[in-house]
Amino acid sequence: MIYHYKPIEEALKSLLQHVKLELGFAEVELDNAVGMVLAEDVYAPIDLPPFDRSAVDGYAICSGAASSASPNNPIPLKIQFGDALNSCDEAIPVVTGQKMPIGADAVVMIEDVIRDSNTIYVTRPLSKYANVSRSAFLPP
């Protein structure tokens, strides 16, 4: 069998001669909207939840404290408990979905730390908002 390929422009022209394409919109009940595409963007009137939260289990930290972390240069941070970091040499344990502690702007995953008693050693660098689900899109 021999196939004859057409240039894309020619194929589209041929297709459009046989297809009637009408774009419009209709209001339908939500239960009848399965398989349909929204005609316009929909925005929630509120953020839910109304706070930044951890996207992973790990430790909430100041991202700047771990900017040079690597397996060959682990950065030590003291483990603290509570809802706020007192300084950027601390880390607070968090679970997925938990509200971010005040002063923390990133979460290092459990897999990326070595824990020794009351200290963790961060083994990879983190950027601001790494592993954080923001409550709303805000430019960094």
User: Looking at residue 139, what is its pLDDT?
Assistant: 46
Distance CA 34, CA 48 (A): 24
Is 90 exceeded by the pLDDT of residue 41? no
Question: Average pLDDT, whole number, for the chain?
Answer: 91
Mean pLDDT of the region 19-36: 87
- What is the mean predicted confidence (pLDDT) over 42-60? 89
Q: What is the pTM of this model?
A: 0.69
Report all structural domains of the chain as residue ranges with CATH numbers, in order of start.
53-133 (2.170.190.11)
Q: Give percent of the chain with pLDDT exceeding 70.
A: 97
Residue 69: exposed, middle, or buried by beta-carbon count in 10 A (0-12, 13-18, 19+)?
buried
List pLDDT tens digits, range 88-140: 999 999 999 999 999 999 999 999 999 999 999 999 999 999 999 998 754 44
| pLDDT for the residue numbered 110 | 96
